[in-house]
Amino acid sequence: MRIAILNRFSKDFYDYNQLISTKKDNIIFYNSNKKFFESTDNITVKNYEGFDKAFFLDIIRDHKKQPFDRLIALSEYDIERVSDIRKYLNIPSFEPISSYIFRDKYLMKNFFSTYIRTPKYKDIKNFVDIISFIDENGYPVVIKPRLGSGSESIVILSTDEELKKYLSQSPELNQLMIEEYIDGEMYHIDGVVNCGELFYISSKYINGCLAFSENNFLGSFGIENLSLKKKIDNFMKKMFSPFITLKSSFIFHLEIFKKDEEFLLCEIASRLGGGYIHDILMKRSNQNMLDAHLEIEINGYLKNIPNFTDNNYGFIMLPYRKGILASNKNFYDSRIIKIDWDSNLIGHCFDTPDSSIDHYIGYVFECTGLSEKHIYSFMVDIADWHEKHTIWKNIE
């Protein structure tokens, strides 16, 4: 089988020489960065600087020289364009309809509002839509891109003065939506649907995905409370009922709110979660979910389903600041299993972070049996350490 893969991930994220389900296949990687990795015995690599529309001409021309049996996009950013190419070249696909529904947050909420509760929401066509939604539902509200990830370009408005300031900046209102702000706890559920069966782990965010906007850390840890896990299980059965019926197969990253003992959908994507969710899935299942994604795309299902252990892990990401990173001293503790730090960042000039995954250092740690209070205290210890031992200089 000849397989073309559009890739935005580096070799640090995934060992591409260990493609469990595709070693016998002829694999061609189209990488969005020349620094990712080079060709090996079983993998042909074509490196680019980003994926512009002209780049896709190469894929089409390569197919006509020697046809592809599969064309796979690893990132949700490329799903629609790859789908268009598949149709043009008549390349078969196992890609589920979930990929398209989940990509657009407005369509996503339209679909799931039949099964579960969502925040009140509305598509934005012009500035009057924003005002009318606020008049009907009140402040605060969230304005977000219909297509996007990592909490990028999200705006929270709490007063008319903030709304005036936002509108005075003449924002491009195309492909935006508005929804009510939910003041509650936030969780993420990560895993796979395989032939209609659900396999996942549930985790709780600390500080939430917009923490970076206030220069605060983003943290997460697995849920061990059995009562809470049961409530999430019941929510998942309702939410995924159409895909269980259809016996669908896909990986997913789901984010939900909990308010007044009720869960509400934030958003879901047919992809791996960001940050260090990938590391934690690996630790708890001993299975690479990116490989699972590839196997589903190639074969339509998983032969080896993930078996998640009860061991618990957490992570913390510290957002960079606008300025020059002058020095840093890492935090060490026996519970820490990974420190994601690049000493080459010393002297680097950073701008203000744009998304929840914009950080200069991250930690993954083991926390089995620890209380939520204990885990939070551990994260605060790490953040406080860096507040004292990381030095930032202003940009002159």
Spatial distance between the Cα atoms of 270 and 94, rounded to a whole number of angstroms: 13
Q: Given this structure, which CATH class describes domain 2-93?
A: alpha beta
Angle at 239 between CA 237 and CA 241, to 5 degrees: 60
pLDDT by residue (tens digit) across 203-249? 999 987 777 778 889 999 999 999 999 999 999 999 999 998 888 89
Span(s) in the chain for CATH 3.40.50.20: 2-93
The model's pTM is 0.89
pLDDT by residue (tens digit) across 325-370? 999 999 999 999 999 999 999 999 999 888 888 899 999 999 999 9
Spatial distance between the Cα atoms of 12 and 34, rounded to a whole number of angstroms: 14
185-393: in CATH 3.30.470.20: yes
The DSSP secondary-structure symbol of 345 reads G
The DSSP secondary-structure symbol of 334 reads T
Q: What is the DSSP string of 191-210?
A: EEEETTEEEEEEEEEES-TT
Phi-psi region of 90 (alpha: psi -120 to 50; beta: other; left: phi over 0): left
Q: Rounded to an integer, what is the distance from CA 31 to the centroid of its chain?
A: 19
Span(s) in the chain for CATH 3.30.1490.20: 120-180
Span(s) in the chain for CATH 3.30.470.20: 185-393
Q: Which of 207, 182, 156 is nearest to 262 (CA)?
A: 182
Residue 72 main-chain phi, psi, to 5 deg:
-120, 135
Q: What is the DSSP string of 41-103?
A: SSEEEEE-SS--TTHHHHHHHHHHHS--SEEEESSGGGHHHHHHHHHHHT------THHHHHH
Q: How confident is the model at residue 380 (pLDDT cuts 50, 70, 90)?
A: very high
Q: How confident is the model at residue 153 (pLDDT cuts 50, 70, 90)?
A: confident
Cα–Cα distances in Å, from 75 out to 5, 8, 103, 326, 327?
A: 10, 7, 11, 33, 33
Spatial distance between the Cα atoms of 96 and 296, rounded to a whole number of angstroms: 10
At the topology level of CATH, where does 120-180 sit?
Dna Ligase; domain 1 (3.30.1490)
Say how many C-beta atoms besides its own lie within 10 A of residue 291's C-beta.
19
CB 21 within 8 A of CB 300: no
